[in-house]
Structure 1
């Protein structure tokens, strides 16, 4: 294999590219990179003229670029080969914020990419992306959606009702948020057509922020130009949650991930993703900290002696008040415990972590407390066995009723976990009666979003007149300005859920059906306010904002004995 770096201005001449992986400079801030299978022309911001399968895969689209927080795109001032082996070359494009690397192998259609931070400010979003020829790349693929991208003609007479969300002439909606999904559940994502496919494959998500519930955008149709958009959002502490900006350490690496080209075969991309996972961490990255790794294992048992089967377990930041969903300065790892409560993290970067856990439903469906501990140390080449960890749960509680499992998701309810779609809140009923012991969980709906009352009818016997009941309301998300008041037996006000009590997140109005930002609210109820026998707990929506609403997780009423 040969590689080359040719310096000079060749703007007026037809280039004759070297065999194998190469970097050729064609202007003061213009370069061509690639191999015998593909090549692309990189300018100061955009990479265009992607030659693959004998033609340009970009055409009139914008091409490839990278940046943070909206349209703060990187501007490259130089390029160099920083590693040149007999197997690959590592090309670095340098900007004032950091260096974007392309690792090119001779027989690989595509390249590995990674970004090394030099001077990024506090950010919420960092992404790379391709905007490609819409006639060639007609479909979008994620782990939860495989469908044609909306035709650009749909946007011509459509009304924009919110950011990148349009109501078309037949009354339905098109939005880029319908292709969003959970970051850590991804296998691969991309856009493809009959003859070509362009994919992003992440063998690991360690450089992505947040926990199991972190969501972000993937692919969509660009409404203004019609470009087929293939997003690679590797930092997101904003979409679908109460957003924050997080500081980024100098030297932090996002990636490597694989940008992969093929003939449009989803199955081929799936096989390639499996191959990438089998060889990660990648040996080509010349960074000692990247290769310094160890393992963490342990077992979670509840204080009532139950194993924490299926618990969501997260290695995150140490001694912080920042919520796991938006932790975003370091490296993060997720797992689920097995039925005995045991968990195992492999190939964890050396350093100190906080360990967090919470119910993922199932056998832990009645557990609304979280588990946290610090500091979990990881040392190169070693396994930190945390052994048995005790997860405290309340004592002396007797359940009166529960609607839905605690898992910080709306799963189990009607429309909960449905494919992302805008306007689904308009299909939920204004009024509903749920009879404990007769109604099914699916008789409840994923979100409250209409003026009216959802009534829970239940029976109980007071243990004593001076006893106390505890109402725990767990929300999977909340989008203002919906307001809800909780009443007992028609006239006793228990509490309220509104923008003065919880902070708004955009999940519901951005097509979310499963989760946004989690909230836990608790209310004490005197026994004297409850009747021996039949009672009615009403959740009355008294403020309505179209497409907004309360996303439900679980409701539980208990006697504290």
Structure 2
């Protein structure tokens, strides 16, 4: 009896330990979601947690510190801060041995946090159900300014201006202040080309908060899509980390209607101790893992690829050309302004060949344009539509896609390279963003073909005066000509007449249907905005043997508003 009693006692103890089952307890994920009341939840894992309210994630705990503090926290919004999403419910919709997938639901769609046991941070994505036609859609963090005093993008890394600097300065325009020494504070100096990003965020000596967007096909726009990435909030001092997954900064037109189910992401929001090298390592890890195999979405996982080789009609390979795979049904919308579906960008190799991997299945149109280099003289764009991408298939467009270009023998002169950017012109660098740099451009100067270099021409024009090109002709003209003016950007408010030997042949005009205004020169952009190509016929009677002169004569000027130059060419017709 004693022996039997001892066995019963042992079995009873095992029963209690095992919860009534003699088998070992199955290990579950460490991630959690707890609902505190109708409008408040806590989510996270053993390493971090966030208290999420109806709109804002208001308390972010990591290493025993609240990293939101007095700041606003985390939220999702569209068309500016006026339309923050309101979460009506939250639930764990999927889990595994080491992760949970938490879905927050709003009337516009579902926002997901995928939380792994050992990850300080979470993968995030949004699935649309009822977003309105919009231009701006974003997720963001507004964090404690003492914990995150610095910011980093791929083009700028430094201290975010403290709130005291804003309070002591004079507001001169939208989110732009002038300090006593004449320098400027503006959040737009923290913009960047979004498809060039690796990791970006805000950080300090103890903490770093980073966005890592390994996949970029859910972004709107092409290679030259620019967005505000981080900044100091001018009214509160919050450290702001933006995830502009559909943006309008530096564009003229960007409003899209989305299908039910359109998905942005997944991307990684990542916390660490402020180490940039650790964030860089994590970027490389995420890049190798994209597209993520763990994301159980059929449309996301169903992909193919596209390859081809482009040759110019004069026999040259399209070396280094920008390649854009986008909408098949929007021929009148620029590549920069496309945004309702998914988009892919690469650059051609030196022989004109290109490969675009991991493309969602569907029907696309291909666009290519010069990106400087060996084809910097090419003014035309190559377009081919009805490109079908099938699951696990490589769509081969052939080894000789022919891109029709203008005969170089007909060119009289060219100032600047065709690349849709100001790169190579005076004051275009070293950084692509600086408010007020356009003020440094003289109102009047002359470029002489055969003597001046492209680096002598300034990147922009705004002030009253004339930027002029003097070019010689060895003999009288035997035919008409064409003046091509390629603008890397245009902010309405300034206008110019174009004169050839004193006779008006065209204009660059605010409120013209040909020139919708974009938000570039007055928002610190110095290299690109919305690209425009203008062509003006030139009657041969206006040309003469000897020196000729073209003047871009500004007749109306608004400070900081004007245009960015790409290239200027004169060809015989």
How high is the TM-score relative to the length of structure 1?
A: 0.95
Q: Is the 8 A contact 1:418 1:513 kept in 2?
A: no
Aligned to 2:4: none
Q: Is the 8 A contact 1:462 1:527 kept in 2?
A: no
Q: Deviations over 1:503-527 (max 9, x none)?
A: 2111000000011111111112122
Q: What is the alpha-carbon distance in structure 2 between the residues aligned to residue 461 and residue 353 of structure 1?
A: 48
- Name segments (4+ residues, structure 1) moved above 4 Å: 462-465
Aligned to 2:197: 186
1:173 pairs with 2:184: yes
Alignment of 1:346-365 (within 5 A): 346-365=357-376
Q: What is the alpha-carbon distance in structure 1 between the residues aligned to residue 253 and residue 279 of structure 2?
A: 32
Aligned to 2:144: 133
1:414 pairs with 2:414: no
Aligned to 1:533: 546
Q: What is the alpha-carbon distance in structure 1 between the residues aligned to residue 221 and residue 321 of structure 2?
A: 17
- SS of equivalent to 1:102: strand
1:394 pairs with 2:406: yes
Q: Is the 8 A contact 2:29 2:96 kept in 1?
A: no
Q: What is the alpha-carbon distance in structure 2 between the residues aligned to residue 525 and residue 461 of structure 1?
A: 18
1:470 pairs with 2:482: yes
- Which range is displaced more, 477-486 or 107-116? 477-486
Aligned to 1:62: 72
Q: What is the alpha-carbon distance in structure 2 between the residues aligned to residue 304 and residue 440 of structure 1?
A: 26
Radius of gyration: which is bigger? Answer: 2
Aligned to 1:224: 235
Aligned to 1:81: 92
- SS of equivalent to 1:326: coil
Q: Deviations over 1:215-236 (max 9, x none)?
A: 1110000011000001111001
Q: What is the alpha-carbon distance in structure 1 between the residues aligned to residue 477 and residue 233 of structure 2?
A: 63
Aligned to 2:52: 42
Aligned to 2:127: 116
Displacement after TM superposition at 1:169 (Å): 2.5
1:508 pairs with 2:518: no
Q: Deviations over 1:78-128 (max 9, x none)?
A: 111111111211000000000000000001100000000010011111100
- SS of equivalent to 2:36: strand
Displacement after TM superposition at 1:463 (Å): 6.2
Displacement after TM superposition at 1:170 (Å): 2.3
Q: What is the alpha-carbon distance in structure 2 between the residues aligned to residue 415 and residue 103 of structure 1?
A: 45
Q: Pick closer, same or farther for the CA change 1:464–1:62 going to 2, 3 Å.
A: closer
Q: Deviations over 1:509-556 (max 9, x none)?
A: 000001111111111212221111211111111211111111100001
Q: Deviations over 1:280-307 (max 9, x none)?
A: 1112211111100001000111111111
Q: What is the alpha-carbon distance in structure 2 between the residues aligned to residue 222 and residue 462 of structure 1?
A: 61
Q: Is the 8 A contact 2:477 2:545 kept in 1?
A: no
Q: Out of 285, 300, 311, which is 2:321 matched to?
A: 311
Corresponding residue pairs, total: 540
1:452 pairs with 2:465: yes
Q: Out of 95, 106, 111, which is 1:95 matched to?
A: 106
Displacement after TM superposition at 1:356 (Å): 0.5
How high is the TM-score relative to the length of structure 2?
A: 0.93
Displacement after TM superposition at 1:464 (Å): 4.8
Q: Is the 8 A contact 2:29 2:100 kept in 1?
A: no
1:210 pairs with 2:211: no
Uncovered stretches (5+) of structure 2, i.e. residues with no partner: 1-27
Q: Deviations over 1:210-263 (max 9, x none)?
A: 111111110000011000001111001x21010331001100110000000000
Aligned to 1:337: 348
Q: What is the alpha-carbon distance in structure 2 between the residues aligned to residue 41 and residue 379 of structure 1?
A: 43
